[in-house]
A and B are shown apart, each in its own frame.
Chain A
C-alpha cells in the first residue's frame, strides 16, 4: 500500500493570546535582535500514513487535524501531503 507523509502545522487563531510567543519575543530583544514585532508559537507534526489513494490519505489527515491535533475553538491547521516514493520506502 502506498505511504504518504503529511507535515501538519497547528497555530493559534490570531484572536487568541499567545503568552509564550510574547515571552519569546521579549527574549529576542535580550539576545540583541531588534525589530521582531510578531512572534507566535505553533506546532509542527509529521505523520506517515498508509492509504490506497492520495484522496483517502487526505481525508484521514483532515479528520486527524480537526478532531485530535487541533482544537478549532482556538487553533487553525494546515498540511502538506506527499507520497513517499517507493525507493525511499525501501531505504527506510
Chain B
C-alpha cells in the first residue's frame, strides 16, 4: 500500500489548492455589525442622538442652540486633539486639566503681576503647557514610569503649583485681547469654531501625511517592532506628550478668556471627559489605532450629552451620571472592537469549498487506504 499512498497526492487535481486560492477578498472585509461600528458607527450614533433630541426638545434644532453646542465643543476639542496623539502611542495623559490651570494662572501672573505685554503672557501659557508635557514625556520615556502614574504626579503637582501661585484665588483682570479673541464672532458664529477645526485639520494632516504621524501609529501599534525598524521611539513618544501639553496650555488660555480670570480651577477634572471623548471617538487605549475625525465626533457626542441634560431640564448632577454611562459604553465598545478586529483579521482565512470527490485527489486516496487498513484488523 505504501506506493499508493505516496504517489497519490501528486495527482493533478490536488494542485488546485494552491495558496493563491485563499486570497479571497472577504478575508479582509469586516462583516455588517463590525463595519457599522468600525467605520461610520459614531457618526450614525451622533445623528440618531440628534434626531432624538429634536423630538424631545423644540430648542435643540435652533441655530442658537447648535452654535452654542459647537462653541461648547471648542475647548474640549483642543484638549482632545492633543490627547489623541498620546493615546495613539499607547499612553495616556491625565494631567491635561491641571496643565491648563497652570497655564491659565501663570500666563495671567506674567501679565497682571509682572506687567508684561499680553503676547508674552500667552506665550508663557503655551511654554508652560509644552514644559509640563516634556516633563511627562521624560518620566515616561527616560524613567520608564507608567504613563498613568507619571501624569498623575504632574496632575497633582501642577494643580498644587497653580493654587500656590494664585493663593487659591483668581487672577484678574484678563487683557481684553484674550476675552475678545475667545468671544469674537463673525456673522453670529464664534471664530473659535473654525479655528479649532483648522487646528484639527492640521493635526489630521500631521497624523496621516507625515513621517512623524506614521511613527506614532507604529510606536502605538508595536513598540518593539518600531524600535527594531529604527524609529526613535523615545523621541516620538516624548513629542506626543509635548503636543498634548501644548494643546492643554492652549486650552488653558481659552478657558482664561472665557472665565475672564486666571484660575487654578480652570480645567479642573476635565481630563476624564477629554479621555472619554478620544476613546468614544474610536482611538484605542491599546494604541496604534484611531484618528482625529473620530476624536471630533467623540467631543461632539459628549457635548450633546451635556446639551441634552441642559435642554431637558435634568438636574446637572445627573449630567455626570449620563456621562459615566457614555464612557462605559465607549470603553466596552473599544474592547469589543479590539476583539472583533483581532478575530477577523488574524490568521483565520476563508477555506474553500470541500475538494471534489475525485478519486485522483490526495485525500480520497489516503482515506481509502486507511479504511482498507482498519477494515482488516491484524
Chains A and B bind each other: no
**B residues near A, CB below 8 A?**
none
